[in-house]
Amino acid sequence: MRTMVGVTLTLAAFLGSPAAGAARTLAVPADKGWMHAQTRVVLRPQVAGLTRRSLSDSTETEHDVTAQFESADHATFATLYLFHSALPEVPVWFDRARAALETRDLFRHAAPASEAPIAFVASGTIPAALRQTYAIVDGPNRSTALAVMPLGEWLMVLRMTGRGNSATLDRQLTDFVTALRLPQDAAAHPAAPIVACPSALAYGKAKMVKPETTDLLLSFLGAMAVEEKKTEPAPVSTRPWCREGEPGDGFAAYRREDETDGFGLALQDAGRVAWTRLSVASQFAAQQRAGERLVKASTWAVTLSDVDGRTLTFPSFTALPTPKQVFEDISKQRPLGSALGKQVTIDSKAMQ
């Protein structure tokens, strides 16, 4: 769970940060609580009878934190993942986390205790979180459970495994979430499991092209504009997210039901998202008055949003690419540049 094989190897040298490598241990005394600065979540030494055993961060800025807990009799284990995402949607990341769980050899024969994931209240009064409990038919552990909870632009994923039956573990999960005392998410809205999109997107014969420097800068300016708008109040969209096509090995595409010119590619289950959309330059061209001649053909930009807020830009496509093409783009191609805040870096070698 939570690995970026392939993508990490390609980006490691370019990123130059622990986000692409081994996690760092957070030095917190075993008998002391730890507060996550940006969400105000407090992880205490003891949570619902489980003892905190480890605390780590795969970034330098606490944007991807993992905490492990264990009962005194070693019968119950819990792992918490707290991460930032450019796509902070509970249904999307529950779908990815559930796929990661159900494809593991250890849980391939696990049976869900309910027909569908269950929406529940993790904080406040809105059922904005999703959970699922499973019964395990063999091995020392007899049950496992998964929950995903919203915290604004952050998400918390909880995995629990125990030697008791699924009903017992489900109660333990409830007790654990209650004991966390999560801060209320003012932007929370009711959650529902992801379903397949009602119709597939129209993909073209997409060929990879390197954008011109002007197009590259425009894409970064667009990304920075989106970040700045996050500080402004925005109406909550009522359009549900859906899964576009079949998931691939380590990725799945998601979009709003009425979105027709792009999608987000959720990578593994760790919050990182690749986007493909009509490039900013092409959007400007499309707004020209009727009868004016377009300067050049439209292109679809590909960017990757990391958990630390960094945006990476990759080669573009001449038409809307498939999810597999986007995954191969970010997995095999060198990033053309990156942006973090208002700092933009362009790789001159990659642009040649």
pLDDT in tens, 289-309: 445 555 567 889 899 999 999
φ, ψ (nearest 5 deg) of residue 146: -140, 140
In this structure, the answer to whether residues 153 and 255 fall within a common structural domain is no
User: Could you tell me which residue, 219 or 258, shows the higher pLDDT?
Assistant: 258
Domain boundary among 180, 206, 223: 180
Give CA–CA dist 278/318, Å, rounded.
10
Beta strands in 107-229 (DSSP E): 111-112, 118-120, 129-135, 143-151, 154-162, 208-209
- Whichever domain contains 130, its CATH number is 3.40.1000.10
pLDDT value for 213: 65
In this structure, the answer to whether residues 226 and 146 fall within a common structural domain is no
In this structure, the answer to whether residues 43 and 142 fall within a common structural domain is yes
Give CA–CA dist 197/195, Å, rounded.
6
Give CA–CA dist 113/73, Å, rounded.
25
In a domain, 176, yes or no: yes
Domains identified in the chain, total number: 2
User: Could you tell me which residue, 162 or 223, shows the higher pLDDT?
Assistant: 162
In this structure, the answer to whether residues 65 and 112 fall within a common structural domain is yes
In this structure, the answer to whether residues 122 and 231 fall within a common structural domain is no
Q: How confident is the model at residue 16 (pLDDT cuts 50, 70, 90)?
A: very low
Which two three-digit tokens encode residue 283?
């959007």
Domain residues for the domain of 57 are 24-180
User: Could you tell me which residue, 4 or 132, shows the higher pLDDT?
Assistant: 132
Is the pTM for the entire model greater than 0.85? yes
In this structure, the answer to whether residues 49 and 175 fall within a common structural domain is yes
In a domain, 186, yes or no: no
In this structure, the answer to whether residues 29 and 88 fall within a common structural domain is yes
Q: How confident is the model at residue 21 (pLDDT cuts 50, 70, 90)?
A: low
* Choice among 5-14, 183-192, 328-337 with the minimum mean pLDDT: 5-14
pLDDT in tens, 37-47: 999 999 999 99
In a domain, 161, yes or no: yes
In this structure, the answer to whether residues 209 and 334 fall within a common structural domain is yes
In this structure, the answer to whether residues 72 and 124 fall within a common structural domain is yes
Average pLDDT for 229-250: 73
In this structure, the answer to whether residues 314 and 175 fall within a common structural domain is no
In this structure, the answer to whether residues 154 and 272 fall within a common structural domain is no
In a domain, 202, yes or no: yes
In this structure, the answer to whether residues 168 and 52 fall within a common structural domain is yes
Q: How confident is the model at residue 8 (pLDDT cuts 50, 70, 90)?
A: very low
Q: Which residues make beta-bridge pairs with 68?
A: 54, 79
